Amino acid sequence: MDAACAERLLPTIAQAFKAENVTLRGCSETRRLLPDIELAMEEDWRTEYLAPILAVRIVEGVDGAIRHISAYGSGHTDGIVTDRLDWADRFVQGVDSASVLVNASTRLSGGGDYGLGAVVGISTDKLHARGPVGPNDLTSYKWVARGNGHLR
């Protein structure tokens, strides 16, 4: 989220999260806008919480978001909400994740959502075959979904 967007959206988003008892942690710029939240530490950017906790960092534009995701992301699913097609395209090309969603919920990233049936495992590897490897085993997918505010 960049600074202009953050100033406009973060206070409203923070209220909604607070109503649902979600703990927010943020960078110093985020805390300037939301002084009551906890300061995010380096490990917060790498942590996948098994609790209602969200770490928020304000970055500089789509390239800042891509750099942050490249450094800290899991490679599983990432999304962008934008009305700028050029930003969406830059994000899709720049983020190296198995699923990239544009203007759609990142909850739409399961096997059933892609017509693959039930999920039996999750892999963020690009080469995952073991044993004899044929041409079909060398295929790696990058899923791109574009929406218009679609939710699960």
Give me 51's structure tokens: 């609790």
d(C-alpha 81, C-alpha 144), whole Å: 13
What's the whole-model pTM score? 0.81
Phi, psi of 82, deg, nearest 5: -160, 155
Q: What pLDDT does residue 128 have?
A: 64
CATH of domain 1-58: 3.40.309.10
Which pair of structure tokens corresponds to residue 58? 């304000």
DSSP annotation string for 38-89: EEPPHHHHH---SSSEEEE---SHHHHHHHHHHHH--SSEEEE--S-HHHHH
How do the pLDDT tens digits run along the chain, 152 residues long?
668 889 999 999 999 999 999 999 999 999 999 999 999 999 999 999 999 999 999 999 999 999 999 999 988 889 999 999 999 999 999 999 888 999 999 988 877 777 766 666 667 777 665 555 566 666 778 888 899 988 88
Reported as a single tens digit per residue, the pLDDT across 84-93 is 999 999 999 9
- What are the start and end residues of each CATH 3.40.309.10 domain in the chain? 1-58
Q: How far, in Å, CA of 68 to CA of 113, rounded? A: 27
